[in-house]
């Protein structure tokens, strides 16, 4: 029933030598929320420095998987280890870009504040910052090219500008593992490219592992190592060419699915990957992995 596509693309050559660590190791991981089973028997390892894309329809449990990795959600059974430990809430080695949420334009919060939260927002005590901390925040702002609007109220910035600040917030603590939940949502094509480049850059230059939840694989096609597809309580893991095939998808969905390649983009016909919230999994006519 489960579909672990044989031998994904071998893990990338990390800049810092052989990546012996298995950053994420899932073994029979199963999650049910209430009476609903999201996925079962997830068994895989993600080597350090891998760029893993998680695809699947709405409600397949993509965000829940990230919550498990963040230590915010307990598994129903099985185990997930990060660098050999159970996920810990507040792990400083993990950067997290949460799903986009509009920020009230009247909030008295500056871009710099938002980024600073990623560094020391969890600390108690008076909010006095050392020069070293301020420099790290500036560095993160520079990394995403957000320095010019760092002192503007966040709520007054565009979605693309806010998203870059969120990336800086996730990167400012220097994470070895970056968890991104639909970071391209509500961004136009230009900013989709910018955001993917920034995350891919962190992945390549720092050798950081990236788990990237999305419904559209096309913007990340040039940088992805492997794909984890969650659908209908089943899953498949492997290189793009192995997982996103008519054969694998048809088996996963119990229905004929076609995968078309057109002008360097993938178009999936007959399987819902959650691109549109108003379309249901039963909507066989949807053309997904989009646009």
Is there binding between residue 175 and other proteins (CB under 8 A)? Answer: no
Q: Which is nearer to other proteins, 14 or 210 (CB)?
A: 210
Is there binding between residue 262 and other proteins (CB under 8 A)? Answer: no
Residues 23, 192, 209, 248: which binds other proteins (CB under 8 A)?
192
CA within 13 Å, CB half, 178: 33
- The residue count for binding other proteins (CB under 8 A) is 58
Q: Which one of the spans 6-14, 77-85, 120-128, 234-242 is the region binding other proteins (CB under 8 A)?
A: 120-128
* 25 three-state secondary structure: strand
The span from the CA of 111 to the CA of 148, in Å, is: 10
β strands within 130-233, DSSP E: 177-181, 209-213, 226-231
The span from the CA of 246 to the CA of 35, in Å, is: 31
- Pair 29, 68: CB distance under 8 Å: yes
Is there binding between residue 290 and other proteins (CB under 8 A)? Answer: yes
Max Cα–Cα distance, the chain, nearest Å: 60
Is there binding between residue 215 and other proteins (CB under 8 A)? Answer: yes
Is there binding between residue 158 and other proteins (CB under 8 A)? Answer: yes
Is there binding between residue 291 and other proteins (CB under 8 A)? Answer: yes
Is there binding between residue 144 and other proteins (CB under 8 A)? Answer: no
Output phi, psi for 235, to 5 deg: -150, 160
The closest alpha carbon to 213, from 193, 197, 200, 229, belongs to 229
Is there binding between residue 77 and other proteins (CB under 8 A)? Answer: no
In the beta sheet, which residues pair with residue 199? none
Q: Which is nearer to other proteins, 10 or 105 (CB)?
A: 105
Give the binding site for other proteins (CB under 8 A). 70, 72, 89-91, 94, 96, 98-99, 101, 103, 105-110, 113-114, 117-118, 120-127, 145, 148-149, 152-153, 155-158, 160-161, 169, 184-192, 215-216, 219, 275-277, 290-291
């Amino acid at each position: 029933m489960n579909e672990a596509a044989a031998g994904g693309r071998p893990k990338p050559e990390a800049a810092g030598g052989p990546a012996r660590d298995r950053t994420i190791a899932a073994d029979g991981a199963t999650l049910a929320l209430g009476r609903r089973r999201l996925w079962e028997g997830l068994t895989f390892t993600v080597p350090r420095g891998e760029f893993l894309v998680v695809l699947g329809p709405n409600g397949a449990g993509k965000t829940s998987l990230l919550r498990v990795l963040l230590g915010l959600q307990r598994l129903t059974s099985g185990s997930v280890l990060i660098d050999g430990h159970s996920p810990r809430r507040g792990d400083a080695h993990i950067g997290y870009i949460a799903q986009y949420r509009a920020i009230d334009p009247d909030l008295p919060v500056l871009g710099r504040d938002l980024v600073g939260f990623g560094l020391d927002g969890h600390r108690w005590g008076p909010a006095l910052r050392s020069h070293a901390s301020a420099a790290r925040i500036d560095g993160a702002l520079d990394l995403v090219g957000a320095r010019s609007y760092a002192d503007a109220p966040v709520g007054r910035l565009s979605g693309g500008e806010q998203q870059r600040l969120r990336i800086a917030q996730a990167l400012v603590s220097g994470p070895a593992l970056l968890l991104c939940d639909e970071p391209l949502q509500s961004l136009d094509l230009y900013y989709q490219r910018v955001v993917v480049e920034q995350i891919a850059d962190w992945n390549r230059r720092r050798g950081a592992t990236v788990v990237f939840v999305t419904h559209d694989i096309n913007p990340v096609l040039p940088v992805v190592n492997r794909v984890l597809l969650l659908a209908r309580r089943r899953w498949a893991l492997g290189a793009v060419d192995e997982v996103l095939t008519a054969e694998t998808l048809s088996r996963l969905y119990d229905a004929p699915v076609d995968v078309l390649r057109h002008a360097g983009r993938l178009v999936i016909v007959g399987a819902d990957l959650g691109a549109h919230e108003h379309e249901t999994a039963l909507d066989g006519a949807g053309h997904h992995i989009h646009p």
